[in-house]
Amino acid sequence: MRIRRLTPALVAALCTAGAWALNPTQNLPQFDGAKALAYTRQYVDTTGPRWIGSPGHAKAEAFLREQFRHDDLEEDTFTTNTPAGAMTMHNFIVKFPGRKDGIIVLASHYETPYPLRNIHFVGANDGGSTTGLLIEMANYLRGKPNDGYSVWLLFTDGEEAIRSWSDADSVYGSKHLAARWQADGTLKRIRAFLLTDMLGDRDLDIQRDLNSTPWLEDLVLQAATQYGWQSFFFQNKTYDGDDHIPFVKRGVPCADLIDLDYGYENSYWHTDQDTMDKLSANSLTIAGDTLLETIRLLDQR
């Protein structure tokens, strides 16, 4: 029998192979959910309730401007008619350039509902968690060379209804921006619109939205599966009306990633129980990992 002596190089190669077998996700993008949760807490503590026209909403605007003061930040301000009269709203777009011709949009709304202005609704999960998610996403993207598509982070205003949810009374910021981007030619450059909503829930259960683009949701599930996160995705199906709908109607590939089962029988949703103690860094890690890998897969298409 011939015995082969292990050289240092061979030992290193075997160790690397063994580490890969134990941790097959090591070469995938890794998102820091703990930092995203910390940003969420800072945002919620700083702003409190942030319905349109409130002092908290002005604080939210200032918070976003401060976070992205050194980035390519565009503020899209517009006035629109609502059941409560004319309101001025603000979308924020943070642009990270890529070398491929096209744009991937990651979106979240950041305000709290106007009808809940008389309760202390801070929206830790609903609006807060995905704001924190996108702020940490910027940290991942910032300063890195990007051979893929440009990534734009979109913080929409006026997602919530002003009086009662309907096609006319909802998603004001998205409707405005989708129309504007169609007019100026931006819309045809968007390769994917990935909407995030209520993803900080400790008991994460992201539904498959049947109003979204099937192939893009399939790609999201493929990304999640590569981390072993697939059990948190698409066990149930819904038809979601959300910030993606104005883009869906204009033919943009969209995926709405949302957990609409928040608390027992959704008991925390739109109540003063939507607070930081209901959130988890692990849930934000799952969401962030999946988004980053979805971007990577889109870049390969």
pLDDT in tens, 224-245: 999 999 999 999 999 999 999 9
Cα four-point dihedral sign 123, 124, 126, 131: positive
Cα 137 from Cα 29, distance rounded (Å):
11
Low-confidence spans in the chain with pLDDT less than 50:
1-6, 8-22
The two three-digit tokens of residue 92, written as one number: 């924020």
CATH architecture entry for 28-300 = 3-Layer(aba) Sandwich (3.40)
pLDDT for residue 24: 60
> Whole-model pTM?
0.92
- What dihedral angle (degrees, nearest 10) is formed by the CA atoms of 264, 266, 271, 275? 70
pLDDT in tens, 164-200: 999 999 999 999 999 999 999 999 999 999 999 999 9
pLDDT for residue 4: 42
Q: How far is CA 290 from CA 80, 99, 215, in A?
A: 35, 22, 15
- E runs forming strands in the chain: 72-82, 85-96, 100-109, 149-156, 190-197, 206-209, 233-238, 254-258
